[in-house]
Structure 1
Amino acid sequence: MQANVVVVGSINMDLVARSKTLPRPGETVVGSEFATVPGGKGANQAVAAARLGAKVAMVGCVGADAYGEQLRAALVAESIDCQGVSVAEGQPSGLALIVVDASSQNTIVIIAGGNACLLPANVQRLDSLLQQAEVVICQLEVPLDTVAHTLARARRLGKTVILNPAPATGPLPDSWYANIDYLIPNESEAQTLSGVAVDSRASAQAAAEKLRALGAGTVIVTLGAEGALLVGEGGAVHFPAPVVQALDTTAAGDTFVGAFAAALAGGQSEREAILFGQRAAALSVTRAGAQPSIPHLCELSKQAQP
């Protein structure tokens, strides 16, 4: 299979607990549900792109444990090319500890595990995958040297390069920006990267413009229930979000990124790709879990029918 979307990023097992409220520091709360669900921002975005019409290859690293076997099997079940998924001997698989409250907000703690073993050399050995791709997606849950290598190599190959800067812990290296066609942060990530306090659509635009001034091609700030703000060469365009009753927002951003990439790889325009991503993300938040919540293309097709 020749992949038209290649995702280089994290593969985690999500340990998800639901409770009425999120615990405060030092507090114990009673949970109501627990589930073990395949996740990781990279894997989530790969699954989203695959379910929504793209041919996808995943480049990542799992641990030599039962979770690793389950995580790889889950990707294979989605018809994702996993030749680039390696096993880190002596390491556990990546984990995400997630608590979701009654209002669908969540807190997440990530343990890198095998994800920390995804090195630039891993990507170099799989250069043929990047050469075949039309769109390359990265996030920040694997070593930054690996992300930097992937962005630069994809740019040299002339691919459409997407960076979802999550989790953002500080500004990106200045040298990265020129290699990014689409930078897709949420509000808090836009604030962290730009240093601009983001608390409104206007401030989100100011943050995006600052990031574009650093060299990013187009910035799309996802605003949750407020939609998305695109800031590019033609100025700023706001895309209101579909109105839904949210159950669980886990992986909504990943669904948007994967759907957006699939649409671009499928020849849709930038505007069409954003609207497609929003529809997919809106449907995902009406369901529980990370990958289980990600819709299939046939569901969006039915949704579009009058």
Structure 2
Amino acid sequence: MKRTLLVVGSVNVDAVSGVERFPAPGETVLASSYRQGLGGKGANQAVAAALDGARVELVARTGDDAGGAAVRTELAGWGVDVTDVAAVPGVPTGIAQILVDARGENMIAVSSGANDALDAAAVDALADRLGPGTTVLSQGEVPVEVLDRLAEVCRDRGARFVLNLAPPRDVAPRTLRTADPLVVNEHEARTLGLDGADPEDWRLACAAAAGRLAEAVVVTLGARGAVAATCTSSAYVAAPVVDAVDATGAGDAFVGVLASRLAVGVDLGGAVQSAVAAASQAVTRHGTVESYPRR
């Protein structure tokens, strides 16, 4: 059974350079490769969910430039409904400058561009499409006012709100409490007061935060897997050992598949297992959405 997953998120052009190692401050290094393509957490997660079998509608903003036209076309090619991906006149499409080193690790700087044109009014226009059984996914790459209003509308309409607070944003406490689940990595979790040294530490931290910080909490642990907790249970899901070549977008593969499975009624533990498997496959291939598994 397919249920619609509504993704309210960012769309960027990814500019990816491959380097042997990351430069030190003030240092210039030569790149051995360069590619440009679809990016942004909203876009990446929408594609991951669509490849996992979800019916995905993306609400986003691009510029009215060549980059915006290209990413809208590519999103549609991956099976994402782009009816609500609007071009904003006179504003550039968001861009992410990404370095990937020889170990497959990455460093990313994002210029938001048209993503900042997404506003609370766009959320209000979606209200009639939300209700019990609807799953909504968003990320920290959209304005805080969008996240706060989206959480409010989801509460009022009885929709499930999945929040990937990446990068960390100063959202209202009630926005966090509405998240079911809140999904963060270790770095992002620490900005929220959670901490751990090993998976068991993180599991306990999530268990303590579930129902207090957010309705449910998921922390991704990179090559170690992920931990998840609700008010009544918690678990650690280990990742398989793989030969990683490029971690770019692996976290988005995780979140997209997680939301896709939650949208069709899979419980949180089962959804996290599927998400860990998807992210583990993604890091074994170069590229971002090109590396995502197809269900």
Q: What TM bracket, shorter-length normalisation?
A: over 0.9
Q: What does residue 182 of structure 2 align with?
A: 183
Which letter maps to 2:18?
Answer: R
Instruction: Please give the alpha-carbon distance, in whole angstroms, between the structure 2 residues aligned to 1:3 and 1:91.
Output: 33
Q: Where does residue 277 of structure 1 map in the other structure? A: 275
**Partner Cα distance (2:87, 2:273) in 1:** 37
CA contact (8 A) 1:190 1:204 kept: no
Q: TM-score, normalised by structure 1?
A: 0.91
Distance 2:83 2:11 in 1: 14
My pick for the range that moved more, 142-151 or 74-83, is 74-83
Confirm or deny: 8 A CA contact 1:255 1:294 kept in the other structure: yes
Write out per-residue CA displacement over residues 232-291 of structure 1, whole angstroms, 9 at most, x where no aligned residue.
222431111121111111111111111111112223232221111111111111111211
Unpaired runs of 5+ residues, structure 1, are: 298-306
Please show how residues 1-306 of structure 1 align to structure 2 within 5 Å. Answer: 4-131=4-131, 134-168=134-168, 172-194=171-193, 196-205=194-203, 207-209=205-207, 211-212=209-210, 214-297=212-295
Structure-1 separation of matches of 2:190 and 2:208 = 10
Call closer, same or farther: CA 1:117–1:77 in 2, change over 3 Å: same
- Contact 2:3–2:263 (8 Å) recurs in 1: no
Distance 1:275 1:213 in 2: 21
Q: Normalized against structure 2, the TM-score is what?
A: 0.94
Cα distance in 1 between the residues matched to 2:268 and 2:125: 31
Q: Report SS of the residue matched to 2:72.
A: helix
Which residue in the other structure is 1:302 paired with? none
Larger displacement relative to structure 2 (259-268 or 37-46)? 259-268
- Aligned-pair identity in percent equals 37
Q: 1:54 and 1:81 mapped to 2: Cα distance?
A: 11
Alignment-mate amino acid for residue 105 of structure 1: E
Corresponding letter in the other structure for 1:217: E
Structure 1 counterpart SS, 2:192: helix
User: CA separation in 2, counterparts of 1:207 and 1:172?
Assistant: 21
Amino acid at match of 1:222: T
**Structure-2 separation of matches of 1:251 and 1:161:** 21
Which segment drifts farther, 274-283 or 213-222? Answer: 213-222
Runs of 5+ unmatched residues, structure 2: none
SS at match of 1:283: helix
Amino acid at match of 1:175: R
- How big is each residue's C-alpha offset from its partner over 1:173-226, in whole Å with a ceiling of 9 and x where there is no partner? 2121231110110000100112x4443334424543454353411111110111
User: Quick check: 1:67–1:93 contact (8 Å CA) kept in 2?
Assistant: yes
Q: Tell me the distance in 2 between the aligned counterparts of 1:154 and 1:237.
A: 26
CA distance, structure 2, for counterparts of residue 264 and residue 213 of structure 1 = 18
**RMSD of the TM alignment (CA)?**
1.8
